[in-house]
Structure 1
């Protein structure tokens, strides 16, 4: 057994510490008993001797037990199940700067060759997305097919692009959140844990889009539809999520692997986007509507709409999407006696060629999306006798058409 201890916070610089532990041959499971006293953005990344990510953990200001087991039903959410190679493992500890005083953390590690102990977090689930030791790089979702059709046919599909489970700071398990999404009539949603790439899911009765909420002390963005781990670590050469250059690299990495990068709650304090030198061509979308039930979000949403309008006025074709940013249990509210904060409030409808991860991402990238808390729209644009799908540019068609006019109908 090894015990790692440290302190963080209360300063101007983020913490990034590396601990090393030895794992003997023949071990079947590894357990981390984690405690933190409330370090801002406290998180762990555990790498095996082959430098593959085997555990990701987002702090919960308390005690949790994280288990890396032989299979996804005996391995905690956020981990990569499978054989444990003998040798020197790395436990990397991260936290944001800030706070009035330093807080402590401890990580107690033990291993065993017998029965796998239960962790305090839900398991990865029956449907594994990752593969321990497969492919190049620290972590890839090689066992999920992003082109798999959950439904055929071009249509409007309703979903949510911002959701959390107990794998980071949400209060629901993946299974409970999935059930609530089905009850609310969603066709898909994106699971976007803080600095964590989800490695599997308990059920497959709904399209779940893999993603990550890249989380920094100066703003968050969602990497939606990604299949490789984004190296946000603060000791990266460019500073990772703790530096402007690192955040731009992460935004561009998202797009390079086929995902879309969306700036989250861009003007909602204290999580507003403060990386002021971010190139406007580095992100694809703006979360213009975040959880309408959250205090101060009405003002923040109006500010985001004004920002979005200015971007379009200046020629930047940034797509507007929404996200519930769900964290709470189904009947809980941020305001005593107030409305519950639930997945799918608001929802985003996308006009996609089919219901698959790739098709949903492509629809957003093309601008075929709108947001709602209830009303359903049928958006049609016509120039002469030709109809254009949502997201199309009709400037050239209008200019070349006699009379130069377009008809746009919104059918609620």
Structure 2
């Protein structure tokens, strides 16, 4: 049985301009009146309302549309459309994200959060026993729910939108008890483990299932991965079947703000971290601490990416590591690498903690390559805690694929020895020998980089892809040394794309 009484409500510019300086705005609500005799409609009865409006340029980051949900509802379903405009060259067109909060409200912290799909879907549903990927199954309780609209970009003529809300009445199903992947896999003891910590499935804007991603991770030679859906933890309960002795699956989120993205790496299962703030709101520190309280690492992602809202504006004071290389190597990765390198001098002299670098694929769909690049971590075992400890200590290097392997060490004349992420404690003028060995990088050149820049370059590797380089220095001459393995330049005079790079070895007591 279906109630076809569609109510259309226009929501124009005036309401928005009244509070246009705010970062969020709640509009007038959508009401679903209960039956006049007080009885709950029969099972299967559907009631639909339609809401139309236009968001003006300068609209708040988030616009909430309240929906009054009566007793007896088993499913909330929302579909939406919006209009693309004709805009002048160089002007951003309309883009509108969407999500939903239940009767517990929209306050920061996410107690009422029930899902987010950004711009990846045109409709979603929430029930007790199921939900659209990106959304959280659970009881549909009576009260005021809120559809969250996120006007990502608004054309000069405004962003016309239409929401269609359908409630289905009936007995609610049983909410499944979530099952999460284990926090340990069968490791090799203290060893080098390969991983990709920035991946997207169909639980946000990716196109691959968890099973497809896990198969690609194994094919890429990975030992661990980290889930990182945009602004939702809905995938956490859907990875357990893909874990195994050969693959550790950690759980996280890509916290996608309007001033940059950050990967919450290896949080406790079921952890949701809010994203509804900008750098000017001075709230990021609170949520970074929330990530760490949940057992995760804070990793700013693609800090110099050119997509709107992707450039990192929050500073690195809360970072446990930084994603320097994201997907296929591009000029913004080169900028991120140089920017990160510039932070190492202060750390070399002990004036502040240094921030290790890592690399991830950010793979969403074909032909995105899972494990391209991958972070290779020296860890005590293949567990969440051990992998995180290796990443945070900087005991890692980044490689374009499983084919590339390297070892990088520094040693002193008295038997002192240090590896990647460590400090070689020697006197300033004591001789230091730096050695790099590489496999799987045919035609690439080996570079040793210090606080002065690149001070040593070896000839290109032979077709076998194997070779080594040795360089002699002192702590007085080089505060740190790190290695880069680069392909031949595609453009004369510019550096070639990375095949691999290491975190530094610091020199000096």
In the TM superposition, 1:330-341 aligns within 5 A as 340-341=367-368
Give the conservation status (yes or no) of the 8 Å contact 1:172–1:327: yes
Deviation of 1:328 (Å): 1.8
Q: Which of 344, 349, 361 is the aligned partner of 2:388?
A: 361
Matched position secondary structure for 1:79: coil
Deviation of 1:41 (Å): 5.6
Q: 1:253–1:406: structure 2 CA closer, same or farther, 3 Å change rule? A: farther
Name whichever of 173-182 and 357-366 sits farther off.
173-182
Give the conservation status (yes or no) of the 8 Å contact 1:78–1:199: no
For 2:323 and 2:308, the matched residues in 1 are separated by 13
| Residue-by-residue CA offset, 1:280-333 (whole Å, 9 max, x unaligned) | 3221222211111xxxx521121111111101123251111112111222xxxx
For 1:61 and 1:207, the matched residues in 2 are separated by 28
Aligned to 1:34: 79
Ranges in structure 1 where 5+ consecutive residues have no aligned partner: 117-123, 130-142, 234-239, 330-339
Q: Which of 211, 225, 231 is the aligned partner of 1:189?
A: 225
Q: Which of 245, 262, 267 is the aligned partner of 1:221?
A: 262
1:47 partnered with 2:102: yes
For 1:46 and 1:102, the matched residues in 2 are separated by 22
Aligned to 2:377: 350
The structure richer in strand per residue is 2
Aligned to 2:251: 210
Matched position secondary structure for 1:308: helix
Matched position secondary structure for 2:95: coil
For 1:303 and 1:87, the matched residues in 2 are separated by 49
For 1:9 and 1:357, the matched residues in 2 are separated by 46
Give the conservation status (yes or no) of the 8 Å contact 2:305–2:311: no
In the TM superposition, 1:13-412 aligns within 5 A as 13-25=60-72, 29-37=74-82, 40=95, 42-49=97-104, 52-53=111-112, 55-60=114-119, 63-70=122-129, 74-100=130-156, 101-113=158-170, 128-129=178-179, 147-151=183-187, 153-197=189-233, 198-202=235-239, 203-205=241-243, 206-227=247-268, 228-233=271-276, 240-241=277-278, 243-271=280-308, 274=311, 276=313, 278-292=314-328, 298-315=330-347, 317-329=354-366, 340-374=367-401, 375-383=404-412, 384-385=414-415, 387-394=417-424, 397-399=425-427, 403=430, 405=432, 407-412=434-439
For 2:127 and 2:223, the matched residues in 1 are separated by 31
Deviation of 1:90 (Å): 3.9
Aligned to 2:34: none
Larger Rg: 2
Q: 1:13–1:86: structure 2 CA closer, same or farther, 3 Å change rule? A: closer
Ranges in structure 2 where 5+ consecutive residues have no aligned partner: 1-46, 85-93, 348-352, 440-509
Give the conservation status (yes or no) of the 8 Å contact 1:127–1:204: no
Name whichever of 83-92 and 159-168 sits farther off.
83-92
Deviation of 1:158 (Å): 1.0
Matched position secondary structure for 1:80: coil
For 2:142 and 2:346, the matched residues in 1 are separated by 56
Q: 1:2–1:52: structure 2 CA closer, same or farther, 3 Å change rule? A: farther
Higher relative contact order (CA 8 A, sep 6+): 1
